[in-house]
Amino acid sequence: MSQTGREIQLAARPHGEPTPDDFRLVEVEVPDPQDGQVLVRNLLMSVDPYMRGRMNDVPSYVPPFKLDKALAGAAVGEVIASRADGVEEGALVVHDRGWREYAVLDARYAHRIDRSIAPPSAFLGVLGSTGLTAYAGLLDVAGLREGDVVFVSGAAGAVGSVAGQIAKLRGHTVIGSAGSPEKVALLRDQLGFDAAFDYHDGRVSKLLRAAAPDGIDVYFDNVGGEHLEAAIGSLRRYGRIALCGAISSYNATEPPAGPRNMHMAIGKRLTMRGFIVFDHHDRRPDFEREVGSWLREGRLHAPETIVEGGIEQAPQAFIDLLRGTNTGKMLVRLQS
C-alpha cells in the first residue's frame, strides 16, 4: 500500500539570492502512517520570507533546514489515510510539512480546517499564522492605541496587507510602502490605505515624510534597512516599532547598514520590539473572532498570489517571493 511522492530538498545553502540549483526535486517513498498518524495529500503550500534564514547554517529561533532533506513549511492538505482517532479520511488539515506532495505526521500536529468558513488558502494566509502575525504585531507588540498613525512597510505582502487593513478597520490613519505602482494602487484603491508610496521613487525618509507630514506613531516593519531608518526619523515621541521582518537583508551577503539615527530613539522615547508569532498564540481567539468577522463581512481583503503547476514550481515561487513579485500571500498549488 506504500506509494511514492515528490518533495523539494535543499541541495545547497544559498549564497545571496537563492538559485534553482539550491533546490532538488526528488521522488521518495511515502511511508504508511503509524498509530496516531495521518497521511496527507498536500493541496497548497506556503512560501514565506522567514524560510530564507533557515537555509543558512546559523542558529536562530528555528533550527536550520538540513542539506539533502525536504524543506518544510505551512501547507493545507487532505487526509487520505488515518490511523488516528477523530481524524477521518477526507478531512482538510493545516500542518507544517509543506514542500512535499504527501506528508505523514502525528495527527496532533494536523489542525482541521472548515471549508465553510473560508477557502483553504485563507488558512495559510489571513486566517493563519500570517494574519495572526499582523494582528499580534499591531496590538500586542506595537501596543496600538487610539489615534495612532500607522506606517506599514512591505504593505502589499502577506503580513503587511493584513496589518494595514486591521489598522484601518480599527480606525487608524495608515500609510503603506510597496515595490511597484500596481501594488501602491492596490493599497490605495482596494485596501483602503490613506497613503501609499513606491519605495523605488526616492529616499524612503523623504517619501514617508511626504506621506505622513505630521509623523507616525507606529511602524510595522517587514523590511528593515532604509525603511527602518526612515521610520525612526518620522516617529513621534513615544512611538513604537514592531520588528516583524527584514526582507531587505535576507539575501544579503554582507551585513547591511544599520539605522544611523538610533540615538533619536532616546529623545523620542521610542520602543522597538522584535517578535515571532509563536509567542502570541494566546491571541488566536480574539484574532479569529475579529478578523474572521471582517472577512465574512467582506470588509477585509486577502490578496493572494497562487502559483499553479505543481511542486516543481515551488523553488521559483520562493525566489520570486524574495524579489517581491507576489502580491499578498504567496502560495503554490500542489494538487487541485
Name the residues that contact its own copies, by CB under 8 A.
53, 60-61, 224, 228-229, 237, 243-246, 249, 255-276, 279
CB of 234 to its own copies, least distance (A): 14
| Residue 288 CB burial class (10 angstroms; 0-12, 13-18, ≥19) | middle
CA distances 170 to 188, 190, 240, 295, Å, are 17, 17, 17, 14
Q: Give kind and range of the element (H or E) at residue 234.
A: helix 225-234
CB of 213 to its own copies, least distance (A): 15
CB of 229 to its own copies, least distance (A): 7
Closest CB to its own copies among residues 30, 136: 136
Q: How many CA atoms does the CB half-sphere of 171 hold within 13 Å?
A: 4
| b/e code 294-312 from CB counts within 10 Å (16+ = b) | bbeeeebbbbbbebeeebe
Closest CB to its own copies among residues 53, 119: 53
CA–CA gap between residue 40 and residue 297 (Å, rounded): 32
Closest CB to its own copies among residues 189, 279: 279
Closest CB to its own copies among residues 77, 137: 137
CB of 333 to its own copies, least distance (A): 29
Closest CB to its own copies among residues 61, 89: 61
Cell representation of residue 170? 480599527
Closest CB to its own copies among residues 186, 246: 246
CB of 215 to its own copies, least distance (A): 12
CA–CA gap between residue 118 and residue 111 (Å, rounded): 15
CB of 97 to its own copies, least distance (A): 22
Alpha helices in 139-199 (DSSP H): 158-169, 181-185
